[in-house]
C-alpha cells in the first residue's frame, strides 16, 4: 500500500446517513453481498483520529488526506461540450504537473 500511515477511512453501513465510522482500512469487512455500504475513497492518517475524538464527526476536518484514485464526473446534455470540458480539465492537470 502506498503511504501506509494513511490507513483510516470513513465508512457507512446500512445507509449513507450512518457514516462517521472511522476504521483502519485493513479492518473493513468485505462489502460483497451487503447493500447500502459505503467507504470514502480518501484515506486519513492519525490526524483524523484526533479530530474525530474531539469532534465526534469527520465533518470540518482540514488535515491531510490521501486518495489512491480520484473520481471525476463531467456531465453535460451536449456530448461535445462534455468532451471540451474534459479536454480543458486534462490540460489544466498537465499545466499543474509541469509547474511543480
Shared-domain flag, residues 78 and 94? yes
Looking at the whole model, is its pTM more than 0.85? no
**Counted domains in the chain:** 2
Q: Which long-range contacts (CB under 8 A, 24 or more apart) does 25-34 make?
A: 25/1
Separation between Cα atoms, residue 68 and residue 83, nearest integer Å: 25
Note the pLDDT tens digit of each residue in 18-74: 899 999 999 887 777 788 889 999 999 999 999 999 999 999 999 999 999 988 899
Residue 83 has pLDDT above 90, yes or no: yes
Domain containing residue 9: 1-69
Shared-domain flag, residues 32 and 64? yes
Shared-domain flag, residues 27 and 49? yes
Shared-domain flag, residues 5 and 18? yes
The phi, psi pair for 47, rounded to 5°, reads -55, -40
Shared-domain flag, residues 54 and 28? yes
Shared-domain flag, residues 81 and 32? no
Give residues with Cβ within 8 angstroms of 46, minimum separation 6: 5, 8
> How does the average pLDDT of the chain come out, rounded?
91
Amino acid at each position: 500500500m502506498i503511504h501506509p500511515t494513511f490507513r483510516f477511512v470513513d465508512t457507512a453501513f446500512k445507509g449513507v446517513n450512518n457514516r462517521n465510522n472511522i476504521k483502519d482500512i485493513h479492518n473493513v469487512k468485505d462489502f460483497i453481498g451487503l447493500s447500502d455500504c459505503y467507504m470514502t475513497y480518501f484515506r486519513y492518517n492519525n490526524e483524523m483520529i484526533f479530530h474525530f475524538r474531539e469532534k465526534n464527526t469527520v465533518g470540518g476536518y482540514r488535515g491531510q488526506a490521501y486518495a489512491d484514485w480520484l473520481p471525476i464526473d463531467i456531465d453535460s446534455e451536449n456530448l461535445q461540450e462534455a468532451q471540451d470540458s474534459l479536454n480543458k480539465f486534462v490540460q489544466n492537470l498537465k499545466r499543474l504537473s509541469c509547474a511543480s
